[in-house]
Amino acid sequence: MDFLVVYDFSMNIADKNEAQKIDYKASKDFKMLPITRMEVAGYKSFEIIMEKLNPKKVLLIIGFGNNGGDGLVIAKYLHLRNISVELFFIKSNKKKSFEYIKNQEIIKKLKIKVLQKIDNKKLNEFDLIIDGIFGIGLNRKILKNTKTYNLINLINKSKTKVCSLDIPSGQCATSGHELGISIISDVTITYDILKVGLVNHPGFKNSRKIYIVNLGTPESLMKDTKNFYLNDIFFKNLILKRDNSSNKGSHGHVLIIGGSKNMPGAVTIAGLSAYKAGCGLVTICVPKSISDVVKKNLPEAIIIEIPNYKDNSTFDDKNFINILKNKISKSPSSIIIGPGMSSQVRFKNLIKNILLEFNSKIILDADGLNSFGEDIKTLKKYKREIIITPHPGEMSSLLNSKISEIQNNREIISRNFSKKNNLITVLKGFRTVIALPNGNVYINSSGNNGMATGGMGDSLAGIIGSLSAQGYKIENAAILGTYLHGRTGDAISQKNIKRGILARDIISNLSKTFEVIKKGDSQRPDFFINE
């Protein structure tokens, strides 16, 4: 899936509450009259519809809220342009806003045709349906077999193109989930700011193209959100400069702890990724059973052998810290714990001892997380800068919940977990979520299903650990590392390699992608594309 993006101000995006707050403050603090905002929304939507869709015969489905009011303004301008327009009103006893009533009066004076009923045959007479049924304020499920449910179902089955206003009707602006049922739109025109539910999983599925129009709202209001969407533009001023006179000691030291007899490749992938992401030195601490393999595959790294455990596969945790401290040549800037280590409860105390002995940034990945389980909450007392990189299955173990619950609430769960445990969560998967302890959540736009192969998580951990070691703030290491990893996969995918992208492919192309992001010269299209 390709997802091209642009945004007018920054990559701030808004959940339902934030979007409603922006609208409220625009009126209250900046004295922007709601009727003026409705007129601007309708007119700008009309312009996009004419330029991009150029319809000849349009049906507008008008709800009873301000989303329907926006639709009425569009109907007015379409009619004045001599476009064939017909309306269908969703009946309701709810009180309508002043702005809605005023625009409805104009529609009556223009004598625009109003339909009393709709069927599939009627829908297919139009070349565009404009969905103005519900906006972001919907807070209930649309029940099966109700008139509105059946209407949305009918629209989705029709062959006519659909344009939704602000958000496809029935879709939650925060979670992206359908509230019973949702319109599936060819185009969504959203107002002021991109909504979280339009780009996260599963909400992205309901809008193929998304246009963002500003209603004259001040930029300061848009920047006051705790949700962000990551693309090339986001990192334009974030990438650190490298001094021409620098040496390997200038770019940080990454220590990787992990590996086992059955998984010697994980630490190698993490180490190679760390080097390719720009760190100066990599040390890998592994059980003796695999040290020769790792030395052969990554001769640039320093290898520290730890005696084997009695299973002859993993390392012995007894005297681990003393051996490590005696053999390590330089204090690590960041430590990656977990790749290929195997998940055993005995490693929990080992990790705790590492946190006590080393004042380094910590990346807990894979088996490092699995060794903790629900005891992950004890990490908070060590007061270290910590990033965890779980996939949904690992996150479900940390929370003792179902994977489906994690996937259905990715942003909310990640945000709450990070705030509660004072760490950074990188919840992997499509639209990877990065949550900070301060409540900020970043949704990653990069990555594709061709990257669904073994070793990808190890590569990601290596990249994040590398950036952490190079002097990036830990939150920026998590954000940039996640985006860089996926963006490299996207660059490979653009070469018509749509499946079977391996970690070694990411490693080979990482430096080149870094330079592309660094230049920050990506073109800004005027829309988002889901396809």
Q: What is the pLDDT along the chain (531 residues), one digit of tens a residue?
A: 233 333 444 589 999 999 999 999 999 999 999 999 999 999 999 999 999 999 999 999 999 999 999 999 999 999 999 999 999 999 988 899 999 999 999 999 999 999 999 999 999 999 999 999 999 999 999 999 999 999 999 999 999 999 999 999 999 999 999 999 999 999 999 999 999 999 998 899 999 999 999 999 998 999 999 999 998 888 878 899 999 999 999 999 999 999 999 999 999 999 999 999 999 999 999 999 999 999 999 999 999 999 999 999 999 999 999 999 999 989 999 999 999 999 888 999 999 999 999 999 999 999 999 998 888 889 999 999 999 999 999 999 999 999 999 998 999 999 999 999 999 999 999 999 999 999 999 999 999 999 999 999 999 999 999 999 999 999 999 999 999 999 999 999 988 788 999 999 999 999 999 988 888 755 444 455 543
Which string of DSSP letters, residue by residue, matches 322-372?
Answer: HHHHHH-SS--SEEEE-TT----TTHHHHHHHHHHH--SEEEEETHHHHTT
Q: What pLDDT was estimated at residue 433?
A: 97
Question: Rounded CA gap, 66 and 377, in Å?
Answer: 44
- CA-based end-to-end distance of the chain: 6
**278 φ/ψ sector (left φ>0, alpha ψ -120 to 50, else beta):** left
- Count of CB atoms situated within 10 Å of the CB of 199: 22
Q: What pLDDT was estimated at residue 527?
A: 52
Count CA atoms closer than 13 A to 356's CA, side-chain side: 9
What are the structural domain ranges in the chain?
A: 12-221, 246-522
Pairing of strands 161-165, 185-191: parallel
Q: What pLDDT was estimated at residue 375?
A: 86
Question: Rounded CA gap, 249 and 330, in Å?
Answer: 10
* Phi, psi torsion values for 116, nearest 5 degrees: -100, -20
Question: Rounded CA gap, 321 and 334, in Å?
Answer: 16
8-state DSSP, 171: B
Distances (CA, A) of 479 to 176, 326, 432, 440, 468: 22, 34, 10, 11, 11
Question: Rounded CA gap, 152 and 337, in Å?
Answer: 49
Beta strands in 269-310, from DSSP E residues, in sequence order: 281-287, 302-306
Tokens of 513: 């992608």
Q: CATH homologous superfamily for 12-221?
A: YjeF N-terminal domain (3.40.50.10260)
Question: Rounded CA gap, 463 and 476, in Å?
Answer: 12
Listed in sequence order, the DSSP H helices in 32-191 are 34-48, 66-80, 98-110, 120-123, 147-157
8-state DSSP, 409: T
Q: What pLDDT was estimated at residue 45?
A: 97
**Beta bridge mates, 302:** 283
Q: What pLDDT was estimated at residue 234?
A: 85
Architecture of the domain spanning 246-522: 3-Layer(aba) Sandwich (3.40)
Location of structure tokens 């079977």: 500
Q: What is the per-residue pLDDT across 371-421, written as a single tens digit (0 to 9) for each?
A: 988 888 899 999 999 999 999 999 999 999 999 999 989 999 999 999 999
Q: What pLDDT was estimated at residue 522?
A: 55
Q: What strands lie across the sheet with 185-191, from one edge to the other?
A: 113-115, 84-89, 57-62, 128-132, 161-165, 185-191, 207-213, 528-529
SS3 43: helix
Q: Do the domains at 12-221 and 246-522 have one common CATH topology?
A: no
Question: Rounded CA gap, 276 and 490, in Å?
Answer: 17
pTM of the model: 0.93
